Every structure is written in C-alpha cells, then in structure tokens.
Amino acid sequence: MEKIGIFSLKKVLFPDSLVPLHIFEERYLRLVHEAYNNKYVFGINLDASVKVFETGCIAEIVDIVKEYTDGRKDILIKGGRRYRMNSYGKSDQLWNTAEIEYFNDREEDADKALAEQCISKYNEIAEKVKKQFYIKKLDASNATDLRLSFLIAQKSGMSLVERQNLLGMTSENERLKILMSHFNKMLPLIKEAGLISEIIRNDGYYDPKYFK
C-alpha cells in the first residue's frame, strides 16, 4: 500500500493521456512544487461535487509550461497507473492524501475485430467534424494496443461519470463494447459538425495550441 497526495478535479485522467492543467490554489501549487522537484507522483481523482470517486490515476508532471508572476502555473501531466483509494482525507500537508492500491486489467484474449470497429466509429466522428474541430484519426494498427479504449475515451464525448466508469473497469474488451454502444447512440444524432464539437471539445486532452 502506498500513500500519495490527491488532486481532486472535475476531470478523469486516463493512463498515457497528456492533460494540461492550470494550477492556482495554494495547496495544489505546493503539491506540484513537491512532486516536480522531488520526482514524486500524485493522484488525480474525479470530484463530482457530491463525492470524490475512489478510482483514480497517477499523474506524472511532464513539464512546467508557464509560471506566472503571482505564482500560478500551467503544467502538463501524463496519466500513469490506476489505483483505488483505501482511505482519503486531510493530512499534515496542505493537500489531501490517500492510501492506495494499484490494479491492472484481468488477462483476456483481445477482440481485434471489436477494436477495429471502435476505431472505425471514432474515425467517422473525426471525419464529420474535421472542418470545425480537429480530432486526429486512428490507424487500424492501433487495434493491437491493449489500452486503445483509454485513447479513444479521451475524445469520445462521454460524460465525466461515464469516463470514470471506464477508468475503473478491468476488461479492455468490455470498455470497447461500452464505447461502441456510446458511438452507435451518438452518431445518428449528429446533424452538423457544431453539435459534436460542442460535445467533444471539453474532454480535456493535450492540444499544443492550449497554452498559446
């Protein structure tokens, strides 16, 4: 069991995803300072107002992109391992901490056909919105990626709670099935690029233009 600092946000961090954060609260500025200078990691957990969800994802600081004169920072983080909190609360630090246990997916045979179908649906959305909103299409070779679902979910148009549910699942095939069901419901509703771009644009993964 490991004890780490917890950064609760209205955001779901997925493994391997790159996410920009604007840090302004004193407690989180201190946490970022400690993590960056001492090579610590911290956790990101979804805070949905009514509760902080127990399943989270380790965050590694990739870069301090910008530092402001008043102390605020723009940082870039990368998602790491998933965990579940066994305890959560205040500590002698400014920030909350938790005792965590890591978990992985269970062993299973990959459903390549399902992965390819999911990529096809994802690319169909990317094609529909390309004039107003850029989403990079996926190559079929990505179908062999054991964490394809996390890559797709970053720009899926899912709600925070739906993404949180995906984060906690331990089957890649089951996650892909959920995504396929989501796309099949969503695609018929897309009348114009503006609708889907409105749904998707705040999903929150790294766009190089973010800090410009």
User: For position 56, what pLDDT does the model report?
Assistant: 97
Query: Tokens 């045979």, residue?
Result: 109
* Same domain as 99, residue 61: yes
Question: Could you tell me if 62 and 96 lie in one domain?
Answer: yes
User: What is the residue range of 37's domain?
Assistant: 2-103
Same domain, 94 and 124: no
| Shared domain check, 128 and 157 | yes
pLDDT (0 to 100) of residue 209: 37
In a domain? residue 161? yes
19 with 77: CB under 8 angstroms?
Answer: yes
Q: Are both 99 and 116 inside the same structural domain?
A: no
Same domain for 99 and 42? yes
The count of structural domains within the chain is 2
pLDDT at 130: 65
Last residue of a domain, one of 84, 103, 122: 103
Answer yes or no: do 97 and 18 share one domain.
yes
Residue pLDDT, tens place only, 78-121:
999 999 999 887 777 778 899 999 999 999 998 999 999 999 99
Residue 142 lies in a domain: yes
Query: Looking at the domain assignment, is residue 212 inside a domain?
Result: no
Q: What is the pLDDT of residue 99?
A: 94
Positions in the chain short of pLDDT 50: 193, 204-212
- How confident is the model at residue 90, as a pLDDT? 76
pTM: 0.85
pLDDT of residue 154: 86
The answer to whether 132 and 193 are in contact (CB under 8 A) is yes
43 & 99 share domain: yes
Looking at the structure, do residues 160 and 136 belong to the same domain, yes or no?
yes
122 domain residue, yes or no: yes
Question: Same domain, yes or no, for 13 and 95?
Answer: yes
| Residue type present at position 7 | F
**Strand-strand pairing, 2-9 and 97-103:** antiparallel
Q: Look at residue 212 in the predicted model and tell me its pLDDT.
A: 33
| 128: in domain | yes
β-bridge pairing 42-47 and 2-9: parallel
